[in-house]
Structure 1
Amino acid sequence: MIKTTPTLLVVEDSRPVRLLLTQGLGRSGYRVLEAADGQKGVELFISEKPDLVLMDVNMPIMDGFDACRNIRQHEEDTVTPILMLTGSDDLHSIQTAFEVGANDFITKPINLPLLEQRIRYALRDADREQALRKAKGLQDNARALAGLGFWEYNQTLEQYTWSEDASEILHWVKFLPETLESMGQIVHPNDRKRLFAVFEDTLIMGGKFDLEVRSVNNKQEYLLKIVGQRDGEQKRLIGAFQDITAQRRLEQQANFLNFHDSVTGLPNRKLFQRDLEDVLTQLHHTDLNFAIIVLDVARFHQIHDAYGSEVSDQLLSLMASQLKTAMPRDAFLARLDGGSFALKLPLNAQWNEGKIYSAIERWLSVLDRSWVVADKEVFLNFIAGVSLVPRHGDDASLLIRKAHRAHRGIKPSGNISIGIYEGEQEDSLQKRLMLEMALRKAIEQEEFYLVYQPQVNLTSGDVVGVEALIRWRRPDIGVVPPDQFIPVLEEMGLIQQLGDWIVQHAAKQQVAWKKKGVSLRMAINLSPVQFEQMDLPDKITRLIAETGAKFSDIELEITESLAMHSPETTIRMLKSLREEGFKIAIDDFGIGFSSLEYLLRFPLDTLKIDRVFIKDITRGRSDCAIVRALTSLCQGLGLTTIAEGVETQRQRDYLDALGATEIQGYLISKPLESNELIQFIADFKKNQNNQSI
C-alpha cells in the first residue's frame, strides 16, 4: 500500500522537545506519532509501522539504544530510518547508536530546518533501499524459478567460486569443483576438450561464450548450459549456469508431438506429407508405384458425441493398432484428424486397377469387425479415397487432395467403401466449390424461403396442420430442390445456422396465421446435424419462445434413422422438448431398422407413414398389411398417424378404411407459400361445404 503522507514516530521523554518536534514537523505535512519512553516507542512502531523514527538516547523504562535494538529485531529488513537525538559532545552515544542499528544522528539543541532536511534525505534513501531490495527479490525469485546459478573462475588462483544455490542446482554432483581440472570431472569426457578450449580462448581473446555440455552421474545424463565472459582485462571468468535437462526433454517431446498424433502415437499430417515429399524426390530415379489412401470413419463425430472423447480415443488407438499389424513393412500410416487416417501403400507396377482395388480392400479388411470399447460394442463404416503414384502426379499436397476428392465422390456400400480418383472428379469438385460459395452467399442474402404442405384430418376433412419445407430461390438458376443443397450444407457445417432460421421463421409464420384467424399445427423438420448440439432443447425452446408461439402448436419431426443412430441421447432430448409442451413426430417410419421397443420408449405424439408404403397400397397386400398394422398399433398407443405422399382418391379411401388419422400429399396440395396457403384453405373449406350440401 502506498503511503501519501509519511508517518514519523518521535520517541522523547522531554515534553518541551517532544512538543517542538511534533508541532514543527506536523506543520511541514508529516503525520507525527509520539512516545515518552523507549518501551512505548517500540509498541507504537510495531502497531503503526512509521516511515521514520526520531529516537532520544536517555529515557526512562527503556533507553534509546535498547529501543533501537528491539525495533530492528521486529523488522524483516533494516529499512526504516532511525535518527538518534543526542548531545553534540556525546561521541560514545553516537558510536553506540550506529552499532545498535541507527542510520543517522542529530545533536541537541535541535535545529528544526536542518532536521527536516535530514529527515527528507533519510526518507528518500529509505525509498531507494526498499526499491532496490524489491528489485533484488524479484531477480532472486526469477533466478530461482529459472534454476540459474553463478560461478567465477580465477586463473591466477586456479580456483572456482560458486553461488550459494549451486549445490541445489547441481544436485547430482557430490562436491562442487574448486579447480579447472575438477570442473572437467563433472563434464562428459567427450565434452571436456570443447569446454577447456572455450575457457582458454575467452581468457586470451575476451568476449563471451554460450555452450551446452553433458554432465553425468552413475544413473543419468544431465545437460548444462554455461554462459560466461572475461572480467575486464583480468585473468578471470564470470558467468551463469543452468540445468536444462528437463527443458530439452520437453523440447524433444514437443518436437515429437509436432509431428505425431497424441492419441494414437502415429505420424500426423505434417510428417505424412514430409515423408511423401521425400519419397517423391526419388520418383525420377526409381520405378516407384504406390497408393495414397485417405481413410475416414463414417460419422465419427457422432460416435464422439454419443460416447465421449475417452471412448472415441480408445477406438482410434485400436484402429491404428489393427492397421499397423496388417500393413506391409514399407507402408506409412498417419492420422490426419478426427476419424481420418492416411496411408502410403506400395504397389506392384504390373497391377491393373482391379488388382490395386483388391489389394487395398484386403489390407483394409482388418477393420471389418465389431469394436468393443469400455463395454460398448460399436459397428463402423469406413470410406477410403485413393490416388495413385505416378499416375496421378508427383506433388505431395496434390496427391493428398486427389485422394480426398476420390473419398468425397464415394457412395457408401458395405462396411468398407473404396474409390480411386478419376479425372472427371475435377469438374465435379469445381462445381461443388461453386455450389458451396453460392450457399454461403444465399445464407448471407436470405435467399431461402419456406413453403407449407397441408395436412388433412380424414374424419373432419379439415386442414389441421402444415409441414414447413425449405426451398432455395437461386437468382441465376431458380428454385433448387432441397436434396441438392441440404447434404452440402450439412458437410459445410452450416445446417445448424439454417436450422435455427427455419425453426424461428416457421414459428413466426404460425403466429401470424393465428392472428388472422387461421390456427394450424406447424410441423418443423430437425436434421441429424442439429441433434449433435447438446443444448438443442434449450435452443429450440428459446428460439420459439422469442416468436410468441405456443409450444403445443409446434410439432418437431425427426427421421427414424436419426432417432436410431443414438437412441438414448435422442430419447433424452425429445423428453426434454416434450416436457416443454412440444409435439413430437417420427418421420419415414417403417423404412429403417427401429424396433418396437424403441417405438414404445420414444416420447411421440405422431407417427408418419412413409410414402413407400402408400404408393402401392391399392395394389400390394403387403403394403396394405403394414399400414393396417401401424395404424392399429398407433391407435393402441394413442398416437396420430399421418400418411405421406397421398396422390389419388383411392389411396385416400384405403387409408381412411385402414384407420389413418391424417393424410398429406399432392392429392390435397403441393407445398405452398404463405399467401397461397391461406387462399387454398379458404377454397378448400368452401369446396368441403359445397360437397356436404
Structure 2
Amino acid sequence: MSDDHTSADVSSKGRGVDSIPIRFALMCGALTAFGVVGWRMLSAWAPDQVPGLGGDLVSIVCVGAPTGAVYWAARKLARQIEALRRSAEAVVAGDFDRASAIDCACEVGGLAASFRKMVDHLNASIVRMNMLAYVDPVTGLPNRAVVEHMLERMVGEGGPGGAVLFIDLDGFKRVNDTHGHASGDELLRQASARAIRRGFGREPGELDACANPFGALCDRPPRDVVFARFAGDEFVALVPGPVDDATLHRRADAIVAALRRPFDVYSQEVKIGASIGLARAPRDSNDAREILTFADMAMYVAKQAGRGRVAAFDPKVRRAAIERAEIETELRHALAGETLELAFQPKLDAHTLECVGVEALARWTHATRGVIAPGVFIPIAEQCGLMGALGAQVVSMAAQQARLWRQAGRALAIAVNVSPAQFESPDFARSMLELCARNGVDPNVIEVEITESMAMADIAATTRRVCALREAGMRISIDDFGIGYSNLSHLSRLPIDDIKIDRSLVIDIGASPRSERILRALIEMAHALGDRVIAEGVETQAQHDFLRAAGCDCVQGFLFARPMTAQALEAWFAARPREASARQTQAPRAAAVA
C-alpha cells in the first residue's frame, strides 16, 4: 500500500471527530427526555403544578441543561482527539518535530503523553541512525557520505563551485602499528582539529555540519568549509565559493606545516606529516566524482614529489595518475609472475680494495616500457601496499643467489634494505628468518639495512627486532646515516654492526671543509661504538683518498663498480685476480635493496 493511500485512509477515518459533540449531545438529550417522560409517568407529576413555571419549561430545562453540558465536554474532547490525530498525521508525513500540546488529566491526556514519549524515542532513534550514517565515530567529523552529498550540491547546477583539499597523513600507519589503534585514533582527532584551526582559523564545531537538528543531510550547497574524515588517514575539506589560488595554497601549506609538528599522544611524542592535493570547480571539472578523483590524483603527485607537499591538479597530473595506475597494475603482475631481478654492487675494503660484500638492488625490466627505475616503482609499491610482497621477493631472490654462490665456492653475503612497511611489522624478524630457511641459507649470509629514521622512530621496537635478527646471525646496518635525526644515546645502545654514511656527505668532500670535519667525527664516533663504517656514493679518487685517510673501513660507488647482474659480477671478479684469494679469507658483509 502506498504512503499516499495510507495518509488518505487516516484522513478519512478521522473525519468523524468533528461530529462527536453533536452525536454525544443528541444521545444525551434523547436519554434525558426519555428519563423525564418516564419520571412523570411514574410519579404522576404535572409540570403545571410548579408555581411560576409553564408545563413545558421544566421539561426543557431538565433536558437542555445536561445536553448542553455534554455537548461542551464532548467538543473539548473532540478538539483534543483532533490535535492528537493531526500530530499522528504529521509523524506519518515525516514531521517528527510536531509534538502534541494536549495537557489534561483525562484519558486523552494520558494518551497524548504516551504519544509524546513515542515521538521523543523515535526522534532519538532517528538522530542515532543519522549519526551512524553521517558522522565519523572516531573524530566526530562528517564522513565520506557527507562529502559526496555536499560536493554534488557544491559543484552541481546552481552550486557555488569551490575547491577540494584531499589530505593524506604521511606516516600514520607506522604510528598505528607501533603505538596501537587507541593512539592512532587519538592522533586522528588531534590532527584533524589542528588542521581545522591552522588551515581555516576555526574550531571544529564552527564549520558547516551540513545537517538538520535530527542529523539528516541538508539539501543545499555548503555555506561554509566542510571538513570530513574521508577514509583511514585521509581527510577532505570542501571550500565553497570563489577562492583564489594563492589563498588556497596558503591554507594548504598551513595545514602541512601544522601537521609536521610533533603530537603528544598519551604522553608519547609522535611525528607524522601530510600531503595535500587540490582541485577546483568549475575550472577542473563540474562533476562531483571527477573533482574528488582529481584532488586525490594531485595528492599522490605531492607524495611522489617527496611527501609533506601541496600539489594542484592539472592535465599533467591526470596523465601521471593514469600512468601510475597502469604501473601499479603491472607491478602487481610482475610480483605475481616473479619477473623482478636483482643487480649487485660490490662493497670494497677502503685500504685493500678487496670485495667484502655486495649490495642487491631491485630492478624491473618491463616488456614494453623497458627499464623502470626503482625511483618510479618503489614509491608506487609503498603507496599501494606492495612493499611487503616486494621486500619478501627481494629477500628471497637474494637468499637464492647467496646459496648459488656458496655452492660455487664464493662466500658472498647479501644485505637487503627493508622498507618501513616491512620493518614495522610485528612479524618482521620471524618472516626474515623464515625466508632464509625456505631458501636453504644460513641467516648470516643476509645483512639487513635499515635507515637512520626508521631505527629512531621507535627505539624500543627497533631494539627488539634487531636483537632477534642478530641472535640468529644476521648483521644489521644503519643506512643513509647522517641525514636523519639520531639520538646518540639511543644509537649507542642499539646493537648494530655497520654504519653507512650517506652519499650526500661524501659528495661534498673537497668542496666543504665543514662536511669533511663532520665525516671524520662520524667515523671516529662509529669506531668508538665498535661499528664498521661504509661510505656509499664514492665517485672520485679524491673522495676515496680522503675516506681512506680518515679511517673509513669500506667504500662503495661508481668509482669501483656499477650495479650489475650476477653473471656480470662473475666477470668483474675474473678481471680482478686478487679477489680469487681474497674471497677465501674475507667474511663478506654487505648488500641492500633500493
Same fold (TM over 0.5): yes
Alignment of 1:497-508 (within 5 A): 497-508=389-400
Alignment of 1:521-670 (within 5 A): 521-670=413-562
Match of 2:117 in 1: 221
How far 1:223 moved relative to its partner? Answer: 7.6
Counterparts of 1:357 and 1:491, CA distance in 2: 24
Whether the 8 Å CA contact 1:588–1:609 is kept in 2: the answer is yes
Q: Judging changes above 3 Å, is the alpha-carbon distance between structure 1 residues 541 and 413 closer, same or farther for their aligned structure 2 residues? A: closer
Equivalent pairs: percent with the same residue?
A: 32
Q: Judging changes above 3 Å, is the alpha-carbon distance between structure 1 residues 508 and 416 closer, same or farther for their aligned structure 2 residues? A: closer
Determine helix, strand or coil for the equivalent of 2:406. helix
How far 1:359 moved relative to its partner? Answer: 5.3
Counterparts of 2:114 and 2:292, CA distance in 1: 49
How far 1:544 moved relative to its partner? Answer: 0.7
How far 1:513 moved relative to its partner? Answer: 0.6
Whether the 8 Å CA contact 1:301–1:338 is kept in 2: the answer is no
How far 1:450 moved relative to its partner? Answer: 0.7
Structure (1/2) with the larger strand percentage: 1
2:146 partner letter: L
2:231 partner letter: D
How far 1:387 moved relative to its partner? Answer: 1.7
Q: Does 1:408 align with 2:296?
A: no
Match of 1:345 in 2: 239
Q: Structure 1 regions of 5+ residues with no counterpart?
A: 1-183, 196-213, 225-244
Whether the 8 Å CA contact 2:350–2:555 is kept in 1: the answer is yes
The equivalent position to 2:186 in structure 1, one of 306, 309, 314, is 314
Q: Judging changes above 3 Å, is the alpha-carbon distance between structure 1 residues 426 and 542 closer, same or farther for their aligned structure 2 residues? A: same
How far 1:580 moved relative to its partner? Answer: 1.9
Whether the 8 Å CA contact 2:229–2:236 is kept in 1: the answer is yes
1:275 partner letter: M
How far 1:194 moved relative to its partner? Answer: 7.1
Indicate the larger mover: 355-364 or 494-503.
355-364
Q: What is the aligned-residue RMSD (CA, Å)?
A: 3.4
How far 1:604 moved relative to its partner? Answer: 0.6
Match of 2:287 in 1: 395
Alignment of 1:59-458 (within 5 A): 190=84, 221-222=117-118, 253-281=128-156, 283-284=157-158, 288-322=160-194, 323=196, 325=203, 330-347=224-241, 349=242, 351-358=243-250, 370-410=262-302, 417-458=309-350
Q: TM-score, normalised on structure 1? A: 0.61
Match of 1:671 in 2: 563
2:117 partner letter: E
Determine helix, strand or coil for the equivalent of 1:603. coil
Whether the 8 Å CA contact 1:536–1:573 is kept in 2: the answer is yes
Counterparts of 1:447 and 1:413, CA distance in 2: 27
How far 1:503 moved relative to its partner? Answer: 0.7
How far 1:296 moved relative to its partner? Answer: 2.1
Whether the 8 Å CA contact 2:154–2:240 is kept in 1: the answer is no
How far 1:657 moved relative to its partner? Answer: 2.0
Counterparts of 1:478 and 1:250, CA distance in 2: 60
Per-residue displacement from partner, 1:618-658 (whole Å, max 9, x unpaired)? Answer: 45433332222222222222211112122334433332222
Q: TM-score, normalised on structure 2? A: 0.70
How far 1:606 moved relative to its partner? Answer: 0.6
Identify the structure with bigger relative contact order (alpha carbons < 8 Å, sequence gap 6+).
2
Structure (1/2) with the larger helix percentage: 2
Whether the 8 Å CA contact 2:166–2:235 is kept in 1: the answer is yes
Whether the 8 Å CA contact 1:216–1:222 is kept in 2: the answer is no
Counterparts of 2:300 and 2:391, CA distance in 1: 24
Match of 2:360 in 1: 468
Per-residue displacement from partner, 1:520-576 (whole Å, max 9, x unpaired)? Answer: 121111111212311111111111122221222221111112223333322222122
Determine helix, strand or coil for the equivalent of 2:544. helix
Whether the 8 Å CA contact 2:345–2:563 is kept in 1: the answer is yes
Determine helix, strand or coil for the equivalent of 2:575. helix
The equivalent position to 2:376 in structure 1, one of 475, 484, 487, is 484
Q: Judging changes above 3 Å, is the alpha-carbon distance between structure 1 residues 520 and 380 closer, same or farther for their aligned structure 2 residues? A: closer
2:427 partner letter: D
2:163 partner letter: A
Q: Judging changes above 3 Å, is the alpha-carbon distance between structure 1 residues 413 and 491 closer, same or farther for their aligned structure 2 residues? A: closer
Counterparts of 2:390 and 2:289, CA distance in 1: 33
Aligned length: 463
Match of 1:510 in 2: 402
Counterparts of 2:540 and 2:344, CA distance in 1: 20
Determine helix, strand or coil for the equivalent of 2:315. coil
Whether the 8 Å CA contact 1:368–1:415 is kept in 2: the answer is no
Counterparts of 2:579 and 2:284, CA distance in 1: 65
Whether the 8 Å CA contact 1:381–1:414 is kept in 2: the answer is no
